Amino acid sequence: MRELNETLATWQAEGQHIGRAIVVRTFGSAPRPEGAVMLVAEDGRLAGSVSGGCVEGAAFEEVERARRTGRSRVIRYGISDEQAWDVGLACGGTIDVLMQPEVPLVSVAAAAGREGVAVITPLPADSPGPAFGPHPPGEGSPPVDPLTVTEDGTIHGSLGDPGLDAALVPAALAALDAGTSRTVELGGRSVFIEAYPSPSRLVVVGAVQVAMPLVRMARELGYETVVIDGRATFATRERFPDADRVVVGWPDEVADEIGLGPSDAVAVLTHDVKFDEPAIVAALERGCRYVGAVGSRKTQADRHARLLAAGVAPEALARLRGPIGLDLGGRAPAETALAIMAEIVAARHGAPGGPMRAKAEPAATA
Q: Are residues 224 and 82 in the same domain?
A: no
Among 277, 269, 275, smallest CA distance to 213 is for 269
Q: Are residues 187 and 287 in the same domain?
A: no
pLDDT at 155 over 60: yes
Q: Are residues 212 and 275 in the same domain?
A: yes
Q: Are residues 187 and 318 in the same domain?
A: no
pLDDT at 354: 84
- Tell me which of 176, 196, 216 is where a domain ends: 196
How confident is the model over 49-60, as a mean pLDDT? 88
Q: What are the φ and ψ backbone dihedral angles of 83, each rounded to 5 degrees?
A: -70, -10
- Tell me which of 196, 219, 250 is where a domain ends: 196
Which residues face 321 on adjacent strands?
Answer: 292
B/e letters for 187-220, b = 16+ CB within 10 Å, e = fewer, are eeebbbbbbbbeebbbbbbbbbbbbbbbbbbbee
**Looking at the domain assignment, is residue 210 inside a domain?**
yes
Residue scoring higher pLDDT (162 or 364): 162
This model's pTM is above 0.85: no
- What pLDDT digit, counting tens, does each position of 63-102 carry? 999 999 999 999 999 854 444 445 555 556 789 999 999 9
pLDDT at 366 over 50: no
Q: Are residues 123 and 265 in the same domain?
A: no
pLDDT at 365 over 50: no
**Looking at the domain assignment, is residue 88 inside a domain?**
yes
pLDDT at 334 over 90: yes
pLDDT at 85: 44
How confident is the model over 3-8, as a mean pLDDT? 92
How confident is the model over 100-114, as a mean pLDDT? 93
- Tell me which of 140, 172, 196 is where a domain ends: 196
**Looking at the domain assignment, is residue 362 inside a domain?**
no
pLDDT at 135: 65
- What pLDDT digit, counting tens, does each position of 196-213 carry? 998 889 999 999 999 999
Among 349, 279, 292, smallest CA distance to 321 is for 292
**Looking at the domain assignment, is residue 364 inside a domain?**
no
pLDDT at 358 over 80: no
Q: Are residues 41 and 147 in the same domain?
A: yes
pLDDT at 295 over 80: yes
DSSP 8-state assignment for residue 313: -
How confident is the model over 327-349, as a mean pLDDT? 94
State the chain's mean pLDDT as an integer.
90
Neighbours of 175 (CB within 10 A): 25
Q: Are residues 157 and 211 in the same domain?
A: no
Q: Are residues 185 and 92 in the same domain?
A: yes
Which domain covers residue 256, as residue numbers? Answer: 201-348
pLDDT at 51: 87
Q: Exposed, middle or buried, 249 (CB in 10 Å: 0-12/13-18/19+)?
A: middle
pLDDT at 349: 83
Q: Are residues 179 and 211 in the same domain?
A: no
Please tell me the least confidently modeled range out of 89-93, 94-98, 141-145, 178-182: 89-93
- What pLDDT digit, counting tens, does each position of 249-265 carry? 988 889 999 999 988 99
- What one-character-per-residue DSSP string does 71-87 give? -BEEEEEETTSTTHHHH
Which residues face 20 on adjacent strands?
Answer: 39, 100
SS3 state of residue 201: strand
Percent pLDDT > 90 in the chain is 72
Please tell me the least confidently modeled range out of 140-144, 240-244, 296-300: 140-144
**Looking at the domain assignment, is residue 353 inside a domain?**
no
How confident is the model over 268-283, as a mean pLDDT? 91
Number of folded domains in the chain?
2
Residue 251 sits in a domain of what CATH number? Answer: 3.40.50.720
Strand segments (E) across 42-151? 46-48, 73-78, 94-100, 117-122, 147-150
Q: Are residues 227 and 171 in the same domain?
A: no
pLDDT at 355: 86
How confident is the model over 327-339, as a mean pLDDT? 95
pLDDT at 150: 96
pLDDT at 177: 86
**Looking at the domain assignment, is residue 358 inside a domain?**
no
pLDDT at 339 over 70: yes
Q: Are residues 160 and 54 in the same domain?
A: yes
Q: Exposed, middle or buried, 170 (CB in 10 Å: 0-12/13-18/19+)?
A: exposed
pLDDT at 301 over 70: yes
Q: Are residues 188 and 306 in the same domain?
A: no
Amino acid letter, residue 247: V
**Looking at the domain assignment, is residue 366 inside a domain?**
no
**Looking at the domain assignment, is residue 43 inside a domain?**
yes
DSSP 8-state assignment for residue 103: -
pLDDT at 91: 57
Please tell me the least confidently modeled range out of 17-21, 118-122, 131-135: 131-135
- What pLDDT digit, counting tens, does each position of 214-225 carry? 999 999 998 999
SS3 state of residue 98: strand
